[in-house]
Amino acid sequence: MAADKPIAPRDWKTQPPYLYPDYKSTAKRGPTRPLLPLKSALAQRHAPVYGQEDIGALDHDLTRNAVRNGVPLGERIVVTGRVLDEDGRPAAHTLIEIWQANAAGRYVHKIDQHNAPLDPNFLGAGRCLTDKDGRYRFLTIKPGAYPWQNHPNGWRPNHIHFSLFGQYFASRLVTQMFFPGDPLLALDPIYLSAPEGARGSLVSRLNLDAAGEPGFALGYEFDLVLRGPHRTPTEA
Amino acid sequence: MAKLIQTPSQTVGPYFAYGLTSEQYGYDFKSLFGPVLAEPQADGEHIRLIGRVFDGDGVPINDAMLEIRQPDSRGRFVASRAEAVASGFCGFGRCGTGTRPSRHYWFDTVKPGPAAPGEAPCIDVIVTMRGTLLHAFTRIYFDDEGDANARDPVLATVPAERRATLVAQRQVEPGGVSYLFDLRMQGPKETVFFDL
């Protein structure tokens, strides 16, 4: 299988640095010394084991997976796309975990002190496996912007957190999906920490057809590219 | 065809707990991975791995998340979910540092065997947190494997004065065997992180 091949190297031109002064928390938390190369043995080892039986029937539907006495407030959206490697090959049956704020910009997390309402019918966490073509689909509520303490009157753009494994231990990716046309993107140090030529890939695309049923939800498409098997040009 | 661009990493942020470590933090959402890698029936020496993650000021971090991956006590990586269910050992764990006042993470697992001849037993680690835009990889070796560590090809690539940052300290207590492994993101004893 593909994972018997060593993983393609990380393309550092697409990744943010560990130390990024505009995102102040990096100053005391980012490693300061050069990373040491690790021989390929580790790169060949597979990701954790899981299966469709681990995924609940409503895990992909954040509008229904935590309801108590009604339905969550906010703008219903479908987020869908594919998980691929750099050569465009699908990452099949890989786990995607997401979490996000509610429509008012409030996280369920107990340490979130933002004075915006919680929604009794919305947790904001979901997961699914990609299909054989690498495709995934979530139904959720568009998250609100929220303030943070990084700089005076700083606000994070609307975003959804994504966590993926891929086929290798080293293909792990934790990232954030943003929304097109958000004026906060140009002011957000986290988004701007990704190199200019790569950060645009963190912004989803509006696609009204992506939601399926007309008149039900806005559709956003978001593809993700993980490190896959290393291929030489003649194999690609 | 032109290669696609690897999606940039972004920080996990401070609020990952209800999504990634929900059961540990008491949220009503099933966790796929938690701090327990080995059920009581799993073969091997049962150990607890425990430690803290320190920032550049030496303050223990309360919103970091560790993920670990290791082979079983015979050095074999778990190949399937069915195998994990049958053996009681799943090979992968996840723990946040925000549920204990002391900011410790912990994993209940078995001591791994060497994954290949000539390699020392070790555990692979991913650590991420608010304030890291990209997760970091490191490795945990064991201080009671001195001979194997001395021959290990990966440890050999680490400058001698930094190797100790990768070695967990064995502690035998009435409750069982534990290994202490702290991570330091910065400072004179900054943990060795790998590019893989």
Q: Which domains does chain B have, with CATH numbers?
A: 20-173 (2.60.130.10)
pLDDT of residue A5: 80
CA B192 → CA A75, A226, B115, B154, distances in Å? 45, 24, 21, 12
CA A71 → CA A62, A63, A97, A161, B144, distances in Å? 10, 7, 22, 22, 56
A166 assigned to some structural domain: yes
Centroid of chain to Cα A20: 20
Å between A191 CA and nearest CA of chain B: 8
Average pLDDT, chain A: 93
Greater confidence, B196 or A186? A186
Mutate to test the interface with A, among B1, B3, B6 (most CBs of A within 10 A): B6
pLDDT of residue A69: 95
**pLDDT of A32-54, one tens digit each?**
999 999 866 555 667 789 999 99
What proportion of chain A, given as a percentage, has pLDDT over 70?
93
Token pair of A17 as six digits:
């640095």
Annotated catalytic, A156? yes
Per the CB < 8 Å rule, is B32 touching A193? Answer: no
3-state secondary structure of A16: coil
Residues comprising chain A, all counted: 236
Q: Name the A residues in 126-145 with CB < 8 Å from any B CB.
A: 127
Whole-number Å distance between alpha carbons of B148 and B152:
6
pLDDT of residue A234: 61
Centroid of chain to Cα A223: 10
Q: Would you call B143 an interface residue with chain A, using a CB distance cutoff of 8 Å?
A: no
Greater confidence, A167 or A164? A164
Distance from the first to the final alpha carbon of chain A: 16
**pLDDT of A122-143, one tens digit each?**
999 999 999 999 999 999 999 9
What proportion of chain A, given as a percentage, has pLDDT over 90?
82
Q: Would you call A194 an interface residue with chain B, using a CB distance cutoff of 8 Å?
A: yes
Per the CB < 8 Å rule, is B19 touching A23? Answer: no
Give the domain CATH number at A15: 2.60.130.10
- ipTM beyond cut 0.85: yes
Closest C-alpha among A109, A164, A154, A128 to residue B7: A164
A192 assigned to some structural domain: yes
Closest C-alpha among B160, B168, B87, B159 to residue B122: B168
pLDDT of residue A41: 58
pLDDT of residue A1: 44
If you search the block for the tokens 């080892």, which residue do you land on? A45
Mutate to test the interface with B, among A29, A172, A226 (most CBs of B within 10 A): A29
Structural domain that includes position A9: 2-24+46-226
Count the alpha carbons within 13 Å of A151 in the hemisphere toward its beta carbon. Answer: 11
Mutate to test the interface with B, among A25, A89, A224 (most CBs of B within 10 A): A25
pLDDT of residue A98: 98
SS (H, E, C) chain B: CCCCCCCCCCCCCCCCHHHHCCCCCCCCCCCCCCCECECCCCCCCEEEEEECEECCCCCECCCEEEEEECCCCCCCCCCCHHHHHHHCECCEEEEECCCCCCCCEEEEEECCCCCCCCCCCCEEEEEEECCCCCCEEEEEEECCCHHHHHHCCCHHHCCHHHHHHHEEEEEEECCEEEEECCEECCCCCCCCCEEC
Token pair of B127 as six digits:
């650590």
pLDDT at residue A2 tops 70? no
pLDDT in tens, chain B (196 residues): 679 999 999 999 999 999 999 999 999 999 999 999 999 999 999 999 999 999 999 999 999 999 999 999 999 999 999 999 999 999 999 999 999 999 999 999 999 999 999 999 999 999 999 999 999 999 999 999 999 999 999 999 999 999 999 999 999 999 899 999 999 999 999 999 999 8
Residues 6 or more apart whose Cβ sits within 8 Å of residue B42: B72, B73, B87, B88, B89, B110
If you search the block for the tokens 């290393």, which residue do you land on? A230
A126 assigned to some structural domain: yes
Q: Buried b vs exposed e over B35-51: b needs ≥16 C-beta within 10 Å?
A: bebbeeebeeebbbbbb
Whole-number Å distance between alpha carbons of A146 and A148:
7
| Number of domains composing chain A | 1
pLDDT of residue A113: 81
B111 and B155 Cβ atoms separated by less than 8 Å: no
Q: Would you call A66 an interface residue with chain B, using a CB distance cutoff of 8 Å?
A: yes
Whole-number Å distance between alpha carbons of B36 and B40:
10
A194 assigned to some structural domain: yes
Which chain B residues are closer than 8 Å to A236 by Cβ?
1
Please tell me what DSSP assigns to residue A46: B
A29 assigned to some structural domain: no
pLDDT at residue A168 tops 60? yes
Per the CB < 8 Å rule, is A48 touching B22? Answer: no
**pLDDT of A144-163, one tens digit each?**
999 999 999 999 999 999 99
Token pair of A32 as six digits:
């300061």
**pLDDT of A64-83, one tens digit each?**
999 999 999 999 999 999 99
pLDDT of residue A236: 47
